[in-house]
Structure 1
């Protein structure tokens, strides 16, 4: 039996972030919302979403959660796809930025945080198109400030996972955007170097949300990865 594919979105993202790649992934696709206040609890949300083994596809914070899933339950993860992410521990400047955004959000400035602090880092262009901006802001508001605050808190509980990832000989696909200012190509090169069986792909023109910006390039990479490593390919 072909294992399901679990899609784990990034911070302020919901299932809509996968709209550019969902078609063609088969019928056994499961969306998981990560809404807990620490990465460990988010990993448990993923593990509770499906019984048995599964393919894990994570974007940004979703991939960070995927690393923790792999640490906790390696027997459950058949393949891993990590997109636009970082397996390192938080830096001091990141912690301060998350605290500042949390303070502003608590004070009632969630929309301003989304538009002024986060949106400029999401796409290849600092000023994305009106359509891209509207789509991201709408999605962020669907997630909402309460979940955002928990996701910010979760970011601070991340750990350095490089040594852990080196222990796991599972098929892995690492994909990054060449114009991602949050997680630049060198992050993905290091991540792919840590995973023993990883394939690295960098999409040169894409930013952080490459599922939207480069879905046409990403979708066949995902399909091929899942098909090639399925125990029972269609």
Structure 2
């Protein structure tokens, strides 16, 4: 006879980055006793995407997000802080877009509209890997994932990027355990971005991972698994995340 648990285990809502899908997390071990929901980035507005996250499960949950997925998570936190029981965010940026980024996204959108989606994939590919140096297998894997996402979803995600706002206020108001992960070789969202995020969230733990770039669930699935476990344990106990063991 299975012993009854005193409360429902917190579910996990997982949000990928731009040109990424659920296969991004294939190497991460999610707890078998938790409901895990993957939310795709299919609407051209950060607020609408945040509502998708909040409607993925009822009640409180732990949010795991990479890059644009974490940005969507910050907006969900702003809208419903009582729903976010824990945060595990990585390879991201909590600031509003810079003028040059708007121009770059418009240029990418123009290429896709012209039927040149593969060029956009090749433009973004180096920034996914440590120090912009992908391995042949890593490059093939990224191209496959981006092709599965496709040009229509890519245009939607570019439009969503342009609706970002500064998330500092939401982060300072957070009252949940949090881990912020950064790749030491991430040139798209460098470690300084993550120090800013971790400083803003009360009690957040920051871990900078050596030999890793932007796609941390591929490049350091062990560290992502450990961070998720630490956040879930802390959220279950209603406590802060303890000090993390430095990665090897």
Q: Distance in 1 between matches of 2:32 and 2:212?
A: 21
Contact between 1:2 and 1:231, CA under 8 Å: does it hold in 2? Answer: no
Distance 1:196-1:171 versus aligned 2 partners, 3 A rule: same
Show structure 1 runs of 5+ residues with no match: none
**TM-score for both structures, normalised by structure 2:** 0.90
Deviation at 1:26, TM superposition (A): 4.1
Given the alignment of the two structures, is residue 179 of structure 1 paired with residue 185 of structure 2, yes or no? yes
Given the alignment of the two structures, is residue 17 of structure 1 paired with residue 20 of structure 2, yes or no? no
Which residue is equivalent to 1:118? 124
Which residue is equivalent to 1:99? 106
Which residue is equivalent to 2:9? 2
Aligned ranges for residues 67-82 of structure 1 at < 5 Å? 67-82=74-89
Which residue is equivalent to 1:193? 199
Which residue is equivalent to 1:42? 49
Distance 1:227-1:139 versus aligned 2 partners, 3 A rule: same
Which residue is equivalent to 2:146? 140
Q: Distance in 2 between matches of 1:107 and 1:91?
A: 25
Deviation at 1:23, TM superposition (A): 4.1
Given the alignment of the two structures, is residue 225 of structure 1 paired with residue 195 of structure 2, yes or no? no
Q: Distance in 1 between matches of 2:174 and 2:234?
A: 18
Distance 1:212-1:188 versus aligned 2 partners, 3 A rule: same
Contact between 2:75 and 2:170, CA under 8 Å: does it hold in 1? Answer: no
In the alignment of these two chains, the number of paired residues is 231
Deviation at 1:221, TM superposition (A): 2.2
Q: Distance in 1 between matches of 2:234 and 2:198?
A: 18
Cα shift readout 1:101-146 (whole Å, capped 9, x = no counterpart)? 000011000012102x100100114231121111111111111110
Which residue is equivalent to 1:203? 209
- The structure with more radius of gyration: 2
**TM-score for both structures, normalised by structure 1:** 0.95
Q: Secondary structure at the match of 1:58?
A: strand
Instruction: Compare 223-232 and 87-96 and name the one that shifted more.
Output: 223-232
Distance 1:28-1:193 versus aligned 2 partners, 3 A rule: same
Show structure 2 runs of 5+ residues with no match: 1-7, 239-248
Distance 1:125-1:79 versus aligned 2 partners, 3 A rule: same
Instruction: Compare 217-226 and 184-193 and name the one that shifted more.
Output: 217-226
Q: Distance in 1 between matches of 2:130 and 2:79?
A: 34
Q: Distance in 1 between matches of 2:140 and 2:32?
A: 27
Which residue is equivalent to 1:109? 116
Q: Distance in 1 between matches of 2:186 and 2:196?
A: 15
